[in-house]
C-alpha cells in the first residue's frame, strides 16, 4: 500500500509540474520550438546526398589505363567507368553500387577482370592479367562480362600508352 501511495504522489507532482510548464510556455516559445524543429528536419533531410543526374551518353573510343582513373565517380561531369578485358563500360546507372563511398566504388576507373574472376576487392587484383586462374574463376569472369554487357553500355577500349598519352573524348550525337 505504501508503494502505491508514493507512486500516486509522484504522478500528482509530475502532472502539476507539466501543468506549470504548459502555463509558462507562451505563443512565442511555441513558435520558436516549431521553427527549430522544422530547421533541424530540413538539415537532416538535406544532408542525404542524392545521386547525380545521369550524364549524356559517352563514347570514349581508345583510352589509357591512366586516363581511365579519372572516371571514378567523384567528378559528376564525367561518367563512372570500369574496364573488363580492355572493354570500357559506363556504370553510371548503378550509382548505388559504384558511386563514391558505395560498395564497389574501388572498381571504378580501373581494369577489373582479375578482381571479378577472384571475387576480390584487393588493389593488386585490379588488372587484366588472367594468368594462374582456375577454370571456375574464368567462368565467374565470363558470367560477369555477360552481366556487364547486358546491364551497361560499352563506351570504349583500353589501349596501351604512356602516362602522357592523350585520348579523345567525344559525345554521341
- Each residue's pLDDT expressed in tens, for the chain with a length of 173 residues: 677 777 777 777 777 776 766 666 665 576 677 788 778 777 766 656 666 666 566 677 888 898 899 999 898 888 899 999 999 999 988 888 998 888 899 999 999 999 999 999 999 999 999 999 999 999 999 999 999 999 998 998 998 764 444 444 444 43
What cell was used for 24? 509558462
| 64 and 114 housed in the same domain | yes
| 139 and 86 housed in the same domain | yes
Indicate the pTM of the whole model: 0.62
CB 81 within 8 A of CB 155: yes
Structural domain range at position 41: 2-46
First-last CA distance in the chain: 86
| 36 and 111 housed in the same domain | no
Distance CA 51, CA 80 (A): 12
| 158 and 109 housed in the same domain | yes
The separation between CA 153 and the C-alpha centre of its own chain, rounded to angstroms, equals 19
Domain assignment present for 169: no
pLDDT at 162: 46
pLDDT at 36: 81
Distance CA 146, CA 27 (A): 65
| 62 and 26 housed in the same domain | no
Distance CA 36, CA 24 (A): 19
Amino acid at each position: 500500500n505504501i508503494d502505491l501511495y508514493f507512486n500516486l504522489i509522484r504522478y500528482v507532482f509530475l502532472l502539476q509540474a507539466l501543468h506549470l510548464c504548459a502555463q509558462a510556455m507562451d505563443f512565442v516559445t511555441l513558435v520558436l520550438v516549431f521553427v527549430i524543429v522544422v530547421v533541424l528536419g530540413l538539415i537532416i533531410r538535406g544532408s542525404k546526398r542524392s545521386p547525380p543526374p545521369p550524364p549524356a551518353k559517352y563514347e570514349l573510343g581508345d583510352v589509357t589505363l591512366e586516363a581511365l582513373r579519372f572516371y571514378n565517380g567523384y567528378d559528376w561531369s564525367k561518367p563512372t567507368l570500369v574496364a573488363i578485358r580492355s572493354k570500357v563500360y559506363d556504370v553510371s546507372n548503378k550509382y548505388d553500387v559504384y558511386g563514391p563511398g558505395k560498395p564497389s566504388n574501388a572498381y571504378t576507373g580501373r581494369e577489373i577482370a582479375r578482381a571479378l574472376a577472384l571475387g576480390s576487392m584487393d588493389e593488386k587484383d585490379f588488372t587484366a592479367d588472367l594468368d594462374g586462374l582456375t577454370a571456375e574463376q574464368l567462368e565467374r569472369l565470363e558470367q560477369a562480362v555477360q552481366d556487364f554487357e547486358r546491364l551497361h553500355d560499352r563506351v570504349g577500349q583500353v589501349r596501351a600508352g604512356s602516362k602522357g598519352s592523350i585520348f579523345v573524348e567525344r559525345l554521341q550525337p
